[in-house]
Every structure is written in C-alpha cells, then in structure tokens.
Structure 1
Amino acid sequence: MTIVQRLIENLTASDRRILTQVSIGASSLSFLGSAFIVLCYLLFQELRKFSFKLVFFLALSDMLCSFFNIVGDPSKGFFCYAQGYSTHFFCVASFLWTTTIAFTLHRTVVRHKTDVEDLEPMFHLYVWGTSLVLTVIRSIGNDPEHLGVWCWTQTGRAGTVVHFGTFYAPLWGAILFNGVTYFQVIRMLNNATRMAVGMSERPNHSDSRADMKALNRWGYYPLILIGSWAFATINRVHDFIEPGQKIFWLSILDVGMAALMGLFNSIAYGLNSSVRRAIHERLDLWCPEKIRRWLPVSLKLRGQLQESELVSLRIEAQK
C-alpha cells in the first residue's frame, strides 16, 4: 500500500492497525460460530435434513467469508487481489442463502407446497451462479494498485459505484425480500395460531407461547443483515460523497459489524432446538454424571418440548 493511498484513505498506521485487529477479532468469532454449525451438520446424522442443509451451506459460506477476511492484507499484492474476490464471492453467497431459507419457509408454510427439496439444484445454481457473476462483473476494470483499506474495496467514486452495484444493491434486495417473506409467513401463522386456540375447548397456552416465540424469532432474521451491513452501507455512501475523508469511528462500526455477520447467522439460524437436542444427547452419552449435573436443565427441557418449530407451526397452519 503506497503512501499516496494512505493519504487518500486518510488513515494513520495506528488507525489501520486498530481496524485490522477489529476485523480479525470479529471475523474469528464468526469463523468459530460458523465452523461449529458446519461441524454439527457433519457429525450429527439426524441434522441432515433439507431445512438444516440450507443452514449448513449458509454457515459454510460465512465460514469461508470470515476466513478470507482474516487473511486479507493490501500489502500482499496479488494474493490480496485474489483474496478480495474470494471474500466478495462467499459474502454474497451468504446473504443469498438466507433468501433461499426465507423462500423455503414461505413455500412450505404459506403456499403449502411439499416440493422444496426438488428445488435444491436451482438453489445452488442461483446462489453460486449469482455470486460468481457479481464477482466477475466487479473484476472488470478493477485496478489492484488502487485497493482501499480492505482487499475487496477500492478507492474513489468509481470503486464505490462498482461496489454498490455488485454487493450492496443485491444485499438490500435480499433484505427487502426476506422482510416481505417473513412478514407474510408470520402473519399467516399468527392467524392460524389464533384460529387453533379459538377452536380448542381447552387451549394449550404453553404451546401457543412457544409458537409465538418462534414467530418472533423469525421476525428478527431480516434484522441480522440490516444490523451487519447498515454501517457499511452508510460508510460507502459517505465515501462516495466525500472520497478520501474517512470517519474512523464509522469505519470501526463498518468493519466490526460486517465481520460479525457469520456469528449472528450461526446463532439465529444454526442454534435451533434440533441442534441443542443433538448436542444434549451426545453429552448424555459421553459426559460423566458429575459434569452433566452442572449443565443447565433448560437445555434438555427445551430440546424435548420443541421438536421442530417449522413442522409444528406448519401443522397449525394446515388445520
């Protein structure tokens, strides 16, 4: 990275070290969280269902996005150039996998279709193909001599426009799609739950509360992408309006929150009742009784009571 670039970016060496440490720390957390979900899928046979397979590919994309984000450094020349495109490819794939999960839930619950497993090849073509096309488009006219602070961003208005067109535009399109889709799913299941409770002579309030809790959690899913990329979007807009005038605190929020996307996804999508139950069953088999006594009792209870949130709510919707 040349002295001219550093002046353009308006960041001191100390500021850049801090941003690098923030990026590596947050990306490491995301890498560990995503790797845990990937490992659970590979180890636990009962998790290898279609719905969790989509979560597996989401976690795999997050894991690789975090890995390449950790190893990136503009001082490494061509390696950084290649790493930047790898980061872009897998980060795009990550938010595209969230749209396939939302689509699957909508098709199953709202439209009552049972053919979602047949659509898996189309999902792969859509996610990996779109990610590849956007990455190739971004490479056209790209100059490795004008990389920004991170390997996958470029300086100046032209670089910002390209970055918006190949990353932020599809990102916010995915956020809009997920928001509308989950709104329709939640609205339908809310109505179905009320009808089921109203038709029952002795309604089970605990089941209703569990279903509503699951519905509320689905409503937070679109907020993961918003929270992860809102500051980055604001920072790109600022870069376009005032190129070369970096706001350090905004850059920290930009880098830190974006790098935590994998961790947020692994917690929201991956740590569901099925995963908790599978882990608890293994602990029952492998851990001595003395250790199991110290584990939270709620783990086992929640694993037993919440068999499958999607299946139970789908049954309610079909009544």
Structure 2
Amino acid sequence: MSSSKPASVPLTHTEVETLIAIERVTASISVFATLILIGTFIFIKDFRTLSNTLIFYASFANIFANVAALIGGSALSHENGALCQFQGFLLEMFMQSDPMWSCAMAVNVYLVFFHRYDSHRLKRLYWVYGVVCYGLPFIPAMFCLFYRTHKRGKMYGNATLWCWIDGNWAPVRIYSYYAPIWIAILMALVIYVRVGIEIFQKRNQLKVADTGNLSGSNDIRPTTFAGTRTTEIQVTTDLWKPPLVTPPSPIAQPGQKRSGSLRGQTELEPNEQYSITICAHNDPLTRLRGNTFGLRGSNVGAPIDKIKWAYTKVAILFAISILVTWVPASINRIHGLVCPARPSFGLNVGSAVVLPLQGFWNAIIYFATSLGICRKVWRRWRSRGETKEVGGGKGFGARKGLVKGKGLEKETASTVEFSEHKSVGSLGDSF
C-alpha cells in the first residue's frame, strides 16, 4: 500500500473503464449544450439578459472542465507527463469556478433586494466576479502544478477517474478544493434563505392590507411599497404614411378617458387618420397589488419587481444544480479520505455522472428561464420568412409582413407601468 495508487487498487480494470466511459459521455453532452448556450448569447442579443450573463461567464469554466473530463483516463498511464499535469490543472481550477459563479449570482440577488442595485451598478461588478471566480481557483491550481516533495512526488497524479490531486496528497483535496466550494455554496444558501424570509414577510403585509381594504378598514399603508401607475395607449394609424402630430391636449385626470383624432389645421384623408386614447389609473389598492415584491425603501416599480423575482428564480435554480452536482462528489471524496484502500464503485459512478454535467444543467436553466425569449426569436425568424413571401421584401408594409388588401391598419394596445421614482437603470436591461 506504499505505491502511488492506493485508492485505485480495489477497483477492477472493467470498473475503471466503465467510469471513464460514463464521464466521457456526460462531458460530451455538457460540451454540446454549453456551445449552444455560448452561441446564442453571442449572436442573439435577446438572450443577453442580466441573469443569462453570469451563466455565460460561468460556461467557460464548464468548457475547460469538460475538456479535462474528456481526456478521462488517457493521462493515467504517465502520471508525471504533461497531459496528466494539464488535466489536473484544469480540474483543480475550473471545476470549482462554477459554484463560485453561483455564489456571485446570489450576491447579485442580495444587492438587488436589500441595496436596490440596478443593472448599471451590477454590471460594474462583473470584473470583480471574474477575478474572484477565476482568480481564486487559479492560486491552488498553480501551486499544485509546481509543488512536489522527494517522498510523495508531484501533487497531480492518480485520482481513480482522472489525473488530479494524487491519493498521497488526499487531505489537500479538502483544503484546496472542497472547502472553497462548500463555502461558496453555503454563502449562496444563506442569502436565498434571507431573501425568502423577506419575500414571505412582504407577502403577508400585502395580504393584511388587501383584507383590510375589503372589510372597509382604512388602515392601508401603500407607502410601504413603491407606487405604480398604469397607462393604456391605443394607436390606430396608416403605416404607409407618417402620422401627423399636433400639440398634445391637456392631460386627462386619473380615471378619465380622452380620445380624439389628430387632424391638425387641414383635413386628412380617411386613410391618413391617426388617433390616440390614453387612460391613467391611480387607485391606491391597484398600486399596492401591483408591487407584490416591493421592499422597504425600494425605488423600483411592479415590472422591475417581476424581473427581480425572475432573476432570483434563475439564481436559485443555479444553486440547486450546484447542490445536485457537488453533494454526491463530496460524499465520494470524504469516503475516499476515510477509507482510502476501499473506494466505492457506486459513489465513483455518481461522481462520474454529476461532475461533468455542470455545463448541461447550466444550459437547461439558461433556456428554461428564457422560453419567452426563445418564442420571441422564433416568431421574428418566422415573420422574416413570411415577409420574403409577401411582397418580395419591398416596402415598409412588406418588411413588417402586414400587407392586407388595399389599406394597411395597425392597432396596438400597451400597458406601461412605471415607478414614480425610477432609478438610472433597471434589471430588465440587457448585457
């Protein structure tokens, strides 16, 4: 048991080959999914949302970690060779970057909920997250690459499935690898618990206020939440000719409708008429209901609060995927530390399945939380194809795919909600 492979002796050659085959299959799946993620983010601007941006940055760690997994056991034949050392460096550095990016997303959630950070301020933290999530793992990865002793040799060597920190250096695996990973995971979980408590409290306040209003009580404090105003705009115009704009009429009072046609000083033809209808609501209970996730002192309105909640869901899903990845792997490593001469084939299978799938789960979260964007992009591509068929791609109406008969008429109805004290940016801003 004094050789450099004490942990791999009990596993048969067939078991080791099975583990290597499993990790290569799962790594291939992750590489394919991650490349699609990177491609859509780079080439389709709609996907560059705030939550997707951090997943995009984390995807580079997934690529390099999966490259190491694809090398598999090929490097084990020459533990002191360059390929083995390269594989060990990639695993040490990039495998632990993903949990750190998950922690960075949790920090963003904390800053949004409790310090009212908007996208402009969050974007200024990207370089900090990059330095931490890639810089911190780089230090132990480089140290393990160059440090050696005469008795135990190099630090990167046989780790059963691949070249990583050798069994002779097993305690270093905990200090330089699993400890930082679990610190990042626990920090993220603490933040999510805190945010969950805050959301629960605000929901209860909202229910109490709503109940008080229905029972005739005047004890409603809508000032606890940021006020919102709903404006409905309806436009009817001929898209063949630019509409004529006249000075606006006096602003309608809350609860009133105002409509009319903008005729200017000359009579317009029937197909040139342009009308606008504006309706504003300023009901306190409507404002209260519209801001479900308003926090104390928050200066963001209902739509931004919806984006906050959507961003939080992405971050929480990211954290769950990290737990799914690292719980089985950590149990396996603890078992290997306690019983180095009796490794568990079942636990190694679990590690071979979950560790290379980090990139795959990130891609699933990326697209599952961007279904609206996917539908929008798909409709746009379909409309472009239909535009080429209708009118040969000439003229304004053909470009929009709206040519219908002799005339052209478009009617839109939109609801715009905004905060009375809007900040510089919003969470809805793209990358």
TM-score, scaled to structure 2: 0.59
Selected match of 2:322 from 202, 206, 225: 225
Farther-moved stretch of structure 1 (72-81 vs 177-186): 72-81
Of residues 177-186 and 73-82 in structure 1, the stretch that sits farther from structure 2 once superposed is 73-82
Question: In the TM superposition, what are the counterparts of 1:163-202 in structure 2 within 5 Å?
Answer: 163-196=173-206, 198-199=209-210, 201=285
Which residue of the other structure, out of 107, 130, 144, is the alignment partner of 2:136? 130
Deviation per CA, 1:291-313, whole angstroms, max 9, x where unpaired? Answer: xxxxxxxxxxxxxxxxxxxxxxx
d(CA) in 2 for partners of 1:116, 1:146: 40
Instruction: Give % identity.
Output: 17
| Mapped pair 1:271 → 2:367 | yes
Paired letter, 1:124: G
Moved more, 216-225 or 39-48: 216-225
2:44 corresponds to: 44
* CA deviation after TM superposition for structure 1 residue 60, in Å: 2.1
**CA distance in structure 2 between the aligned counterparts of 1:216 and 1:58, rounded to whole angstroms:** 17
**Structure 1 position 137, deviation (Å):** 3.0
What's the RMSD between the two structures over aligned residues? 3.3
Q: Which residue of 2 aligns with 1:238?
A: 335
Once the two structures are TM-superposed, the CA of residue 135 in structure 1 deviates from its matched residue by: 0.9
In 1, the alpha carbon distance for the partners of 2:104 and 2:163 equals: 25
Q: Which residue identity is paired with 2:44?
A: F
Structure 1: segments with no counterpart, 5+ residues: 290-313
Amino acid in the other structure paired with 2:106? A
Q: Deviations over 1:9-68 (max 9, x none)?
A: 322111111101110111122222222221121011133344432121012211221122
- Is 1:248 the counterpart of 2:258? The answer is no
Question: Who is 2:415 aligned against?
Answer: none
Quote the Cα distance in structure 2 between the aligned partners of 1:124 and 1:133: 14
- Count, aligned residues: 286
Gaps of 5+ in 2: 211-283, 294-301, 387-425
8 Å Cα contact 2:7/2:340 also seen in 1 = no
Give the TM-score of the pair, scaled to structure 1: 0.77
Aligned CA distance change for structure 1 residues 152 and 105 (closer, same or farther; 3 Å): farther
For residues 7 and 254 of structure 1, do their structure 2 counterparts lie closer, same or farther at Cα, with a shift above 3 Å needed? closer
Is structure 2 residue 169 aligned with structure 1 residue 159?
yes
In the alignment, is the contact (CA less than 8 A) between 1:9 and 1:149 conserved in 2? no
Aligned-pair CA distance for 1:88:
1.9
Q: Given the alignment, which residue of 277, 282, 292 partners 2:377? A: 282
Match of 1:311 in 2: none
* The structure with more strand, counted as a fraction of residues: 2
Q: Which residue number corresponds to residue 120 of structure 1?
A: 126
Change (3 A) 1:91 1:83: same
Question: Cα deviations across residues 75-117 of structure 1 (Å, max 9, x unaligned)?
Answer: 3532121122112211122211111111111101122134222
Q: Which position in structure 2 is the counterpart of 1:292?
A: none
What's the secondary structure of 1:251's corresponding residue?
A: helix
Match of 1:85 among 80, 83, 89: 89
Higher helix residue share: 1
Deviation, 1:279, is 2.4
Q: 1:256 to 1:190 in 2, by over 3 A?
A: same
Which residue of structure 2 lines up, in the alignment, with residue 300 of structure 1?
A: none
In structure 2, relative to structure 1, the CA distance for the partners of 1:212 and 1:108 (3 Å cut) is closer
Letter in 2 for 1:271: F
